[in-house]
Chains A and B, each alone.
Chain A
Amino acid sequence: MSTMELYQLTAEKLSAMLANKECSSEELTRSVLKRIEQKEPEIAAYVTVCGEEALKAAAAIDAKRAAGESMHPLAGIPLGIKDNICTRGVRTTCASRMLENFVPPYDAFVMEKLNAAGAVMLGKLNMDEFAMGSSTETSYFQKTRNPFDTERVPGGSSGGSAAAVAAGEAVAALGSDTGGSIRQPSSYCGIVGLKPTYSSVSRYGLVAFASSLDQIGPMGRSVKDVAMLYSAICGRDNHDATSALREYPDFAKELTSDVKGLRIGLPKEYFGEGVAAEVREAVSKMAKELEKMGAELVEVSLPSTDYALSAYYIIASAEASSNLARFDGVKYGYRAKDFANLTEMYEKTRSEGFGAEVKRRIMLGTYVLSSGYYDAYYKKAKFTQLRIQQEFAEAFTKCDLLLTPTVPDTAFKLGENVDDQIKMYMNDILTVTVNIAGLPGMSVPCGFDSKKMPIGAQLIGPKFSESTLFRVASAWETSVGGFDLSRTLA
């Protein structure tokens, strides 16, 4: 890359350029929109692109800046938004036929915050239908491709977000993570993605998959970009009863790269047989590098990890079966055409409006909650959740954070796992525990495998320890001289 195009730069760099009037938001937005036009036929990351609105918003921000108003660091930065985050006046589909034409009359809380900050919304990003999936292949509209290899999936469910950020189709993006949906695609696409502490980002306006596990989070090309975006979206929201009552620092401003004295735990259960050797090696190499920088490595154990996937699929599906019951063809969304009565309207609408994976989860959720099975499945899963939480708490008495692979392997080929649900679900095995325990988890690039596909490392900390995660991630990023996206941004 000899001369850098604006779309290739980080939010951090662009924010400084905008502040110094080295470029305008309109120029920047044009650059990214042009990139979208070029890359979309190949990547298909967006469900909806709002070109005109984005340019209008950018011009408005430029005018404000010209008028000397004080600006938020994200003012004028073009972002992509996962299509399960409600945007007032812009259709929000959850990549489902069910919501193909749904236009929310309200903004999600994170959108209110980003709009107030002056961020520019480029459009809505593709995802697995209702965030259920690990490859973005369950989208009703299109299959998004991995910018590193278009034969491969970008991961999911925030696959559109990850692919867009990696391909330069957005400076950064918002995703959502219920069992790994930010971290796994970030890992597959070689970018940084944070699943924040449950309750730190309001879920108001995030179309619910599993309410007790869902969390909106930032995805970007650098640690600082992710910290900037996280600072902009976190905070108490009185419209979300589960939102934590606390103050947050400016994570980007206070970001340091000093890991001296930090104890980094390596949970042995996360480096087992199921994890590809190349992935294990890459993460171990990163651990050793951090040790060289002054961190201490500690082996820890999380014995209930084996049960996490079961607990996760039970809890998530149970909540999903209830959360998705409102899509019944009455108030909004798809309604079947021919029906003889109310029951038929319900059944036809839902059978035609939902894809197969969503139906499987609804059925599983209905099963585990149904009379006679509740105690054996749902309740047991909730108690398993408590045990997993206790084990993490125990581990965090021995270390400050954990380092693990994000996914057992790198991105697989499109179609490879579509008929094998169990194999697909195994993708989440290293990420679901973090959601189950409500902890912050972050995926950072840590090298490439022999197929030249990116590998991701996962940092896990106690609740509200995002600063520590940023610190370690930043130290690593500095030591490798920034994450290499030269192939996807070219």
Chain B
Amino acid sequence: MRQDYEMVVGLEVHAELNTASKIYCGCRNAFGKEVNTQCCPVCMGMPGTLPTLNEKVVEYAAKMGYALNCTINPVSKQDRKNYFYPDLPKAYQISQFDIPLCEHGYLDIWVDGAEKRIGITRIHIEEDAGKLIHDDSFTGTLVDFNRCGVPLIEIVSEPDLRSSADAKAYLDTIKSILEYINISDCKMQEGSIRCDINVSVHKKGEPFGTRVEMKNVNTFSGAVRAIEYEANRQIEVLENGGTISQETRRWDDLKGQNFLLRSKEDAQDYRYFPEPDLLTIVLEQDYLDSIKASIPELPNKKKARYIKELGLPEEDASLLAELKEKADFFEEVLHAANIKPKSASNWVLGDVSRLMNETNKPINDLGIDPKQLAEIISMQEQNKISSSAAKQVFEEMLKTGKAPSELVKELGLEQVSDTGTLQEIVDTVVANNQKSIDDYRNGKTNALGFLVGQCMKASKGKGNPALMKEMLLKVLEG
């Protein structure tokens, strides 16, 4: 994007909640079932049927509200949003209009090494629509109602985002919070988290431009592409002397372009009014307090703490905090022994994560005792074992389940730091590698690495490499 312009982005994230039943009826909330087998007269909008609100939906939405520092309205209501579409059987969506469940919150995100606060306008509950199946071999469109009535929360941000990177960080953080408090499966490929994007651009120092809404953004990477595309499109229009009109555009991720869906003149008139089939949602303070108390430390806060208090690099902090189980595991390792956070992080993000990928298992199913891992790290930090020995102990521990200290003894991996023993090894290596010594002295400093390697080999991997390196240098420089 051109440097003289700034973009302003606001996001509306729709997340499906992972309740057992749907929001307004007792149908199963399940994905991927045979068409029209997860619906009933209520979610199909049959005449005379009535909605009844699932209490779990309210609980989950309030949880997200607390997670995003919102005020939870103890009294709220539901409204009808009226429009005709074949995937909307009642021809209205039950949503919340002027009194959402949660409002006035914020979310702190990390972007490019700095923390940034994004305002949360509101979070409300609503029902999902069905699915339209298009098939080119067929002249009509097929309607599957299984998704009708799947509970959604819509999280609306303030227009506080200033780049696609901001948006990406915001979306990643939202997703990770949803997973932390376990209210959504966040399966992008199943469409369980989607977003609408508002974008405007303006010349730096000038007032905000007219915003354009983009719909049909189903992936986070798509969101980044869509935002950049739209900002550039608007700049091009402006640079060519045009004006931006308030309109709705549809993002086509395959084509990497968006298309006009509705101009301002065709704006839908949704005729919102209070849903007469449902009464007021009234939440007692005790109930709200218990929900608030159930919120764990959230990934964005954890990440900030890891950076600020543990001194971890931002990338480490992000990766560790991303999943609650991973962060919990990391902290258990860290607290089990007096070790450096960075060492623990290296292990969790290194060997442990590799193992997770290889076995496709969650961290807690790997069979690793955080205390034992901490012991390995501790021994390594204290030079009792070398890093290669540490890896060997780790592998053996996984296989045998034996304690690390036991394995170190059993395998004879204790690191040798006795200077007398090491000096003998160094002397032998020096005596047998005259060419490398000459090379080093002629300025080929990488010969030192080779010599250290030879020492390690001679010590059968047990010699303290730092000490042996020191001794070698003494000989070479001396």
Contact = CB atoms under 8 A, between A and B. Distances in A.
Chains A and B directly touch (beta carbon < 8 Å): yes
Contacts of A326: 45, 47, 89-91
B476 interface: no
Contacts of B51: 241
Interface in A360-380: 366, 369-371, 374, 378
A330 B130 CA distance: 13
A102 B41 CA distance: 13
A250 to B, nearest CB: 27
B46 A346 contact: no
Given A212-B276, A242-B277, A378-B273, A342 B45 contact: no
Interface stretch (A143-151, A199-207, A462-470, A472-480): A199-207
Nearest to A315: B276
B478 interface: no
A207 B48 CA distance: 4
Contacts, number: 102
A17 B92 CA distance: 50
A114 B45 CA distance: 24
Contacts of B279: 241-242
Interface stretch (A275-283, A317-325, A351-359, A482-490): A317-325
B82 interface: yes
B271 A366 contact: yes
Interface of A: 84-86, 92, 94, 99, 102, 104-106, 108, 203-208, 210-212, 238-242, 318-319, 321-322, 325-328, 330-332, 342, 346, 366, 369-371, 374, 378
A5 B272 CA distance: 55
Given A241-B278, A242-B277, A325 B49 contact: no
The A interface, classified by DSSP as helix, strand, loop or mixed, is loop
B456 to A, nearest CB: 74
A271 to B, nearest CB: 32
B67 interface: no
A106 B53 CA distance: 20
B273 A104 contact: no
B143 interface: yes
B278 A322 contact: no
B142 to A, nearest CB: 12
B44 interface: yes
A322 B86 CA distance: 15
Contacts of A204: 48-50
A331 B89 contact: yes
13 contacts: A86-B48, A105-B41, A203-B50, A204-B49, A207-B48, A208-B47, A212-B276, A242-B277, A322-B82, A326-B45, A331-B89, A342-B86, A366-B271
Choose among A105, A204, A207, A330 the residue with the greatest number of B CB atoms under 10 Å from its CB. Answer: A330
B52 interface: yes
A241 B50 contact: yes
B41 A239 contact: no
Interface residues of B, number: 28
Contacts of A319: 273, 276
Interface string B48-90: 1111110000000000000000000000000010101010011
Contacts of A342: 86
Contacts of B272: 369, 374
Counting from the closest, the 6 A-B pairs by CB-CB distance are A325-B91, A369-B271, A211-B276, A212-B276, A207-B47, A205-B48
Contacts of A104: 41, 46-48
Interface of B: 41, 44-53, 80, 82, 84, 86, 89-92, 143, 269, 271-273, 276-279
B84 A325 contact: yes
Contacts of B277: 208, 211, 240-242
The B interface, classified by DSSP as helix, strand, loop or mixed, is loop
A322 B48 contact: no
Given A239-B50, A319-B276, A331 B44 contact: yes
A369 B273 CA distance: 7
B50 A322 contact: no
Contacts of A366: 271
Contacts of A102: 47
Contacts of A86: 47-48
Contacts of B52: 238-241
A321 B84 CA distance: 12
A309 B45 CA distance: 30
Contacts of B91: 322, 325-326, 328
Given A108-B48, A326-B91, A327-B47, 6 more contacts: A92-B47, A92-B48, A106-B41, A240-B52, A322-B80, A331-B46
A102 B45 CA distance: 14
Contact of B86 (A241, A330, A374): A330
B143 to A, nearest CB: 7
Contacts of B45: 326, 331
Nearest to A345: B86
Contacts of A378: 273
A332 B46 contact: yes
Contacts of A321: 82, 271
Contacts of A207: 47-48
B84 A328 contact: yes
Given A241-B278, A322-B80, A322-B82, A205 B90 contact: no
Contacts of A370: 269, 271
Nearest to B92: A322
A374 B48 contact: no
A327 B47 CA distance: 9
A432 B91 CA distance: 27
A211 B276 CA distance: 6
A108 B80 CA distance: 23
A330 B51 CA distance: 20
Nearest to B47: A207
A325 B273 contact: no
Contacts of B273: 318-319, 322, 369, 374, 378
B9 to A, nearest CB: 26
B24 to A, nearest CB: 9
B43 to A, nearest CB: 11
